[in-house]
Amino acid sequence: MDLMLFAPEITMVVTGLAVLLIGLFLPVDSKKVLGYLASLGIIAALYLTIASLGTNALAFYDTLSVDALSQFFKIVFLVVALLFSIASIKYTEGSAHVEEFYVLAIFATIGMMFVASANDLMVLFVAFELASISTYALAGFEKKNPQSLEAAMKYFLIGSLSGALMLFGITFLYGVTGTTSIPGIAASGAAIAASPIGIISVVLLIAGMGFKIALAPFHMWAPDTYQGAPSLVSALLAAGSKKMGIVAAFKVFIVALIALQVQWQIAFAILAVITMTLGNVAALSQTSVKRMLAYSSLAQAGYITMAFVVLTPMALGGGILYALSHGFMKAGAFIATAAVVYMVLSENKDTKDPDHIDNFKGLGQRMPVTALSMTIFVFALAGIPLTAGYMSKFVLFSSTIQAGFAWLAVIAIINSAISLFYYAKIVKYMYFLPTEGTKISEPLPYTIALVVAVAGVLAIGFWPEPFIYWAMEAGKVLLAGGI
């Protein structure tokens, strides 16, 4: 019975193993089929997750839970994985390691899904590491590219450190409460709050998860890694892996450590302000689009962090909805960049900075679908109405005002206005600056992934009711302290 609750995860595991096994026997030129296989598996898992919406259950000795929160985040992760795997069909063409690329991504996604379901800190940690280790390897996938290796190395070192800090924090909590179960820790809230160890564990856990979410000042690795890693992997990191950090932090702080609310709320308020401001200001001067998107991703994480400060059902719903929207917008933007990088590299293999903003000049004529999609993504990231980004900001920012944190909303809105400047710069390069390049035929897999992401961004923008409903349901799970 318990197993059936995890049909999506099981589907993913089977898909991953199938890709790996079939890949071993395929010649290099027919490995394309693996991409389709992976995508189909992810679609199946996505379907199973959506079909099971509304289920509430605990499983495996209460170490895992299936509820609105975990299901919502699983949808986020699967959507990102789907976009990733579709777009990768072109990227991995001709590579001898196609199956590894897909398997790592699928296992990273499985890790993220288990983090979303975790009801026990040990399970959470193991799942967290499963996702992390898979993505370390993915970041260094371009073995001959020193930038990619540097990205992987930085990510790996800092990621391991953050994992260690997190484990340390969990150890302290276990020491005080004698349990690793999230509801168990929450039940011993008074004991934690009374002991100095409570504060230490909060600090350690914020640092550990702060690295993953890339909250300033724990963000240093992110721009380098997002820039150096293959663009599609950056999409997976920024859109998927970062959300894993957020859902983990939701569970750890809002459910397990709610007794220390006052302490971590202040910390998150400061982190949110620093992160969004630093991200936006630093993004202004970037010439590498991937780096710009990395900093913009910081800023967006800063907005989502506001949900930790406000802690009303509407704010949590807003933050959770933002996570889904960001999955579509940011994955889409990185995939569009990946398509440009692909084009630049296929024209000239030795180009040094294929993601330099100059390469976006005249993209509106050269790659009309990619350029239009990119326009929609950056406008959505900037929060222009009728996009997912606006809808999420609407719910999140307005809830901040409702809860009496008007100052925080004002800072966020000012930041949002600053961000428009660099987002508009990309649009300007794509449509207004002349290019010598000619129109090229856009690689189909990228285009399909982009169209799917655009559909998601516009669906949430135009028809937000069901998304808001499920995000609010997910938020309620947190405030109720689990199911």
Partner 1 sequence: MLLSMIVLIPLIFAVLTLLTKTREQARVMALIATVSVLLLTVYTYFNFDSTTAATQFEEFYSWVPSLGISYHLGIDGISLPLILLNAIVMPLLILFTWNDDRKAPNRFYSLILITQGAVLGVFCALDFFLFYVFWELTLIPLFFMVSIWGGPKKHYASIKFFIYTHVASLVMLLGIFGLYFAAWETTGTPSLSIPHLLAQFQFIESGITRDLIFLALLFGFIVKLPVFPFHSWLPDAYTEAPTAGSVLFVLLKIGGYGIFKIMLPMLPFTASPNLMITIMGALGAVSILYGAFLALAQKDLKRMVAYSSLSHMGYVTLGAAGLVSLSVSGAMFQQFSHGLIMSIMFMSCGVINKATGTRIINELGGLAQRMPKLAVIMVLAFMASLGLPGLTGFIAEFSVLAGSFVNLQGYVVLALTAIVITAAYHLWALQRAMFGVYKEKLGNVVDINGYQTLAMGVIAILILYFGLNPSPVLDMMLTNSEHIIGLMAGMGV
Binding residues for partner 1, rule: CB under 8 A, are 379, 384-386, 394-395, 397-398, 401-402, 406, 409-410, 413-414, 416-417, 420-421, 424, 428, 431-432, 464-465, 468-469, 472
Instruction: Kindly provide the b/e burial profile for residues 367-378, where b requires at least 16 CB atoms within 10 angstroms of the residue's own CB.
Output: beebbbbbbbbb
**Residue 79 CB, nearest distance to partner 1 (Å)?**
21
**Residue 136 CB, nearest distance to partner 1 (Å)?**
39
State yes or no: cis peptide before 217, omega within 30 of 0.
Answer: yes
Distance CA(88)–CA(230), nearest Å, equals 10
Nearer to partner 1, 134 or 373 (CB): 373
Nearer to partner 1, 401 or 448 (CB): 401
Distance CA(459)–CA(269), nearest Å, equals 31
Nearer to partner 1, 83 or 283 (CB): 283
Q: Could you tell me if 213 and 245 are in contact, meaning their C-beta atoms sit under 8 angstroms apart?
A: yes
Nearer to partner 1, 55 or 402 (CB): 402
**Residue 465 CB, nearest distance to partner 1 (Å)?**
5
Q: Could you tell me if 297 and 214 are in contact, meaning their C-beta atoms sit under 8 angstroms apart?
A: yes
Q: Could you tell me if 379 and 423 are in contact, meaning their C-beta atoms sit under 8 angstroms apart?
A: yes
Residue 232's nearest CA partner among 367, 371, 353, 139 is 139
Q: Could you tell me if 283 and 292 are in contact, meaning their C-beta atoms sit under 8 angstroms apart?
A: yes
Both tokens of residue 477? Answer: 């799970």
**Where do the H-state alpha helices sit in 26-67?**
32-51
**Residue 122 CB, nearest distance to partner 1 (Å)?**
37
| Residue 118 DSSP symbol | B
**Residue 434 CB, nearest distance to partner 1 (Å)?**
11
Nearer to partner 1, 166 or 306 (CB): 306
Distance CA(278)–CA(258), nearest Å, equals 28
**Residue 386 CB, nearest distance to partner 1 (Å)?**
6
Nearer to partner 1, 61 or 407 (CB): 407
**Residue 51 CB, nearest distance to partner 1 (Å)?**
23
Q: Could you tell me if 403 and 312 are in contact, meaning their C-beta atoms sit under 8 angstroms apart?
A: yes
**Residue 398 CB, nearest distance to partner 1 (Å)?**
5
Both tokens of residue 437? Answer: 């390049």
Helix and strand totals (H; E) in the chain:
22, 2
Nearer to partner 1, 72 or 397 (CB): 397
Nearer to partner 1, 200 or 386 (CB): 386
